[in-house]
Amino acid sequence: MPVVTQPVVEVCDPVQSPDLGAASIPAHVAIIMDGNGRWAASRGLPRVAGHREGAQAVRRTVEAAIRNGVGWLTIYAFSSENWRRPASEIVDLTGLLRRYLKSEIKELSENGVRLRIIGDRTRFDEEIQADLARAERETQRNTRLNLTIALSYGARAEIAAAARAVAAAAKAGELDPAKLCEEVFEGFLHTAGTPDPDLVIRTSGEQRLSNFLLWQAAYAELVFLEVLWPDFDEAHFAAALAEFARRDRRFGARAG
Per-residue pLDDT of 166-178, as tens digits, reads: 999 999 999 999 9
Q: Judge whether residue 84 has pLDDT over 80.
A: yes
**196 in Cβ contact with 221 (< 8 Å):** no
pLDDT recorded at residue 256: 54
Neighbours of 95 (CB within 10 A): 13
**CA–CA separation, 204 vs 231, rounded Å?**
10
Active-site residue, selected from the candidate residues 82, 111, 142, 211: 82
Q: Judge whether residue 234 has pLDDT over 90.
A: yes
Q: Judge whether residue 244 has pLDDT over 90.
A: yes
pLDDT recorded at residue 255: 58
Query: Model pTM?
Result: 0.88
Neighbours of 163 (CB within 10 A): 12
All domains of the chain in start order, with CATH: 28-155+196-246 (3.40.1180.10)
Active-site residue, selected from the candidate residues 13, 19, 34, 125: 34
Cα–Cα distances (Å) from 231 to 50, 200, 227, 234, 236, in that order, read: 10, 18, 6, 10, 9
What's the mean pLDDT in 198-219?
A: 97
- The larger pLDDT score, comparing residue 2 to residue 210, is at 210
**CA–CA separation, 241 vs 196, rounded Å?**
16
pLDDT digits (tens, 9 = 90+) for 25-56: 999 999 999 999 999 999 999 999 999 999 99
Return the closest-CA partner of residue 203 out of 227, 184, 220: 227
Q: Judge whether residue 17 has pLDDT over 70.
A: no
* 82: annotated active-site residue: yes
**CA–CA separation, 207 vs 190, rounded Å?**
24
